[in-house]
Amino acid sequence: MAQTPIRNNRVSETEAVYERLFEFSPNAILVVDAAGRITRANPQVERFFGYSVSELLGHPVELLIPDRFCGNHPEHRDGFNAHPRMRPMGAGLELYGLRKDGTEFPVDIMLSPVDTPEGPLVLAVIRDITESKRVEEALRESERRFRFLVEGVKDYAIFMLDRDGRVSSWNAGAERIKGYRADEIIGQHFSRFYTPEDVQGGKPEFALKAAAEKGRFESEGWRVRKDGSRFWANATLTAVRETSGKLLGFSKITRDFSERKQAEVERKRAEESLRLSEERFRSLFEFSPDAIIVTDEEGKIAEANSQVENFFGYSRGELAGERVEILVPERFRQAHPGHRQQYNTHAQTRPMGIGLELYGRRKNGTEFPVDIMLSPVKTDAGKLVLTVIRDLSEKRRTEEELARKERERKYLEEELHTEHRFEDIIGDSVALKRVLKQVETVANTDVTVLILGETGTGKDLIARAIHQLSPRHQRTLVKLNCAAIPTGLLESELFGHEKGAFTGAISQKIGRLELADEGTLFLDEVGDLPLEVQPKLLRALQEKEFERLGGTRTIPVDIRLIAATNRNLEKMVAAREFRSDLYYRLRVFPISIPALRERREDIPLLVRYFVAKHATRMDRQIESIPAEIMNALTQWDWPGNIRELENFIERCVILTRGPVLRAPLGELQLPEEPPSNEDVSLESADRDHILRVLREAKGMIGGPNGAAARLGLKRTTLNSKIKKLGIRREDYI
């Protein structure tokens, strides 16, 4: 009875150990049920594949497999379930994993069956072999060059063995000395060169073990040729390893010492061959695409490859004996000795600064982003640290470009879903043709355009047409309505902000100005731009650079600006409500959009277009428009212009039951003849019309039946007009 708790405690301790192995394994580990659904995943799965664990649970494992493997995967799973045992997946195949972003990476996979009370599960251990693939490729290239050198050597048997002692390369000297052709011996175990008694005594295995442990094993003795004859030979077996220490195989040099008088010549030739072999591995250090630095335990630089000079701008002579902190930005230097001391205490191969953005410092003081991998190296002279530094500048630029394109994509999707816009510019009037001619003239230039016109005349359509006809049409047209955004948020919306720039700034925000880089920025209702923001916009336009709110980094920007307003900017400049320097910067090429009452001949075209558009959308069959309705529509002044016309036609289509359009003409009360005096302005007529609609809407501004919808205006635009015209609530309630 007393032993039961102890046994339970041991089980719990064992489970805790396995749980830590699962959580902190350097490999990705998945637990999959018999149907192939993921039931558990460790943190490395997130790092390898880019999915969070919650995104994977319950999903089929094929989510992580490229399409070309998915077709056969269920069959392989059924085979494994039928005969479960620990084994590698896809033996003899090159397997790849599929990340969330669609990219692939090479993997090794080991499958293990696990019996549980809930049923059989499969444990899949996934190792990312990207780096080993790269090293193998470099080694294959080095071996190719090495073979080229040794093929011409006919007085030495020089060949390579894999880790198990099988022959993997064969030179002409080996063929001459041992009598085998390459096609006869490659893939065979090197023990066939030993005498039967040496094989029985285990000498081939001893030689491999000694070379693996000591790095090199040299021996002399009798060896056997293909024809069975024996000769006295000197053989050198050298272990070949990766920089990480992983054993790749062995190089073997055999010299025929049958004639002792040639011993000295043979020794020198063998030494030269060994020198070439060492140079081969030295080239992996020297010609690595990464910067590699060897430092002692105090952080002094003992050796550096040529990429260090390329990355940092120092010559190797300048770095010899210097502390590695010379290559570290000042903000990291204070903590660096402490990190080095900690690493020396627990020396192991690992990345430096996990979870941090690391930077290197060049001789000229500039910085660049890096990844750093540390590896301990034991030598006769003491402990050294091998530091491999990868320049991430190009990767960061690529990531930033992809992020920018993703922001553009999201912005365009938002525009398509939220922006009310017409399908085309409809009309055949002289006034409209004059405007389109101006658009055609200015579009191919890069000058700033100021579009003037009343609300609802289609200023945004003209802006879009200019962009589409310009050399920038393949980049984004970014729109910002200055009247639709609260004043306090407008600066952030235009320039963006850094995290913590103000209360509520919980993350970095990219502004419209930066989003429009290399494209076009359209500032609608620019007359509502606050005075305090105007000089910042002017500076960005003139100097082609700006800073985000709360930021210190100057961001270059290349945009083409199009602005639009329904306000009289000249009067605003005179009243000191708008900066004159910004006004003249905007008014390089003004385009005035005619009001709909100034192009009445276009109204029938627009009416027919909007009837067809909304009838199709509502699945109505409207075949004709009565003449009296068309005449009334043509005679109405349309203070809200095209937007008001479309909203009215939409109501007409809703009310129509049958093939003939019906229209609530009572809403179109034609104004009385204006008095003969010339004091009645367009502004007063606009004011009277807005008051009448406000009274009809019972003072309601927003909503589907509100005054803004009746006038074809946005709620914010109508509020701005009410304020500008001095309309008080008691005037219409």
pLDDT along the chain (733 residues), means of 10: 50 70 87 90 92 92 89 83 81 84 91 86 90 77 59 72 92 89 92 93 93 91 91 91 88 83 56 65 74 87 88 90 88 78 76 75 90 82 84 78 64 47 71 92 95 93 94 92 86 90 83 93 94 94 92 92 95 93 94 94 94 93 92 92 92 92 79 44 71 81 79 79 81 74
Do residues 320 and 406 make contact, with C-beta atoms less than 8 angstroms apart? Answer: no
Q: Can you read off the two tokens belonging to residue 606?
A: 């627009």
Encoded tokens for 595: 């009001």
Residue 396 lies in a domain: no
- Average pLDDT, whole number, for the chain? 84
Residues 320 and 190 in one domain: no
What pLDDT score was predicted for residue 694? 85
173, 222, 176, 232: which is closest to 199 by C-alpha? 222
Quote the CA–CA distance of 48 and 101 in Å, as a whole number: 11
555 and 426 share a domain? Answer: yes
Nearest to 96 by CA among 74, 121, 70: 70
Indicate the residue among 592, 611, 634 that finishes a domain.
592
**What tokens were used for 580?**
């004159």
Closest CA to 119 of 81, 158, 77: 81
Which residue bears the tokens 């996990």?
354
Q: What is the pLDDT of residue 558?
A: 95
- Is residue 403 a part of any domain in this protein? no
Residues 76 and 173 in one domain: no
Would residue 157 count as lying in a domain? yes
Q: Do 169 and 270 have their domain in common?
A: yes
- pLDDT in the model for residue 257: 85
Say whether both 307 and 269 belong to one domain: no
Residues 532 and 660 in one domain: no
Strands 119-128 and 28-33: antiparallel
Give me the domain span that covers residue 173.
Answer: 132-286
**pLDDT the model gives residue 420:** 39
Displacement of CA 586 from its chain's centroid (Å): 36
Tell me how long the chain is. 733
Are 498 and 606 members of one domain?
A: no
Residue 402 belongs to a domain: no
CATH code of 725's domain: 1.10.8.60
Instruction: Judge whether 587 and 445 are in contact, CB under 8 Å.
Output: no
Contact 533, 490 (CB under 8 A): yes
**Alpha carbon distance 206, 212 (integer Å):** 10
Q: What are phi and psi of 523, to 5 degrees?
A: -95, 100
The last residue of a domain, from among 128, 146, 167? 128
Residues contacting 519, CB < 8 A, separation 6+: 467, 472, 475, 476, 477, 478, 559, 560
DSSP characters over 367-420: EEEEEEEEEEEEETTEEEEEEEEEE-HHHHHHHHHHHHHHHHHHHHHHHHHH--
**417 lies in some domain:** no
Sign of the CA dihedral with 566 first, then 571, 574, and 575 last: negative
Element (H, E) at 142: helix 130-151
Residue where one domain finishes, among candidates 286, 303, 330 = 286
Q: Is residue 620 part of a domain?
A: yes
**Residues 641, 577 within the same domain:** no
The verdict on residue 496 lying in a domain is yes
Alpha-helical runs (H) found in 233-368 = 263-286, 306-312, 316-319, 330-333, 336-345
Supply the pLDDT for residue 57.
93
Q: What is the sign, positive or negative, of the torsion defined by CA atoms of 412, 416, 420, 424?
A: positive
Asked if 471 and 607 sit in the same domain, the reply is no
Of 85, 84, 111, 107, nearest to 97 by C-alpha is 107
The answer to the question of residue 354 being in a domain is yes
Q: How far is it, in rounded angstroms, from Cα 10 to Cα 12? A: 5
Q: What is the pLDDT of residue 407?
A: 64
Please check whether residues 108 and 143 belong to one and the same domain.
no
What pLDDT is stored for residue 438 in this prediction? 94
Same domain, 282 and 185: yes
Nearest to 645 by CA among 686, 603, 616: 603
pTM over 0.75: no
In this prediction, residue 273 carries a pLDDT of 66
- Say whether both 537 and 642 belong to one domain: no
Domain count, the chain: 5
- Kind and range of the H or E run holding 114: strand 104-116
The domain that holds 214 is classified in CATH as: 3.30.450.20
DSSP designation for 300:
B
Q: What is the pLDDT of residue 717?
A: 81
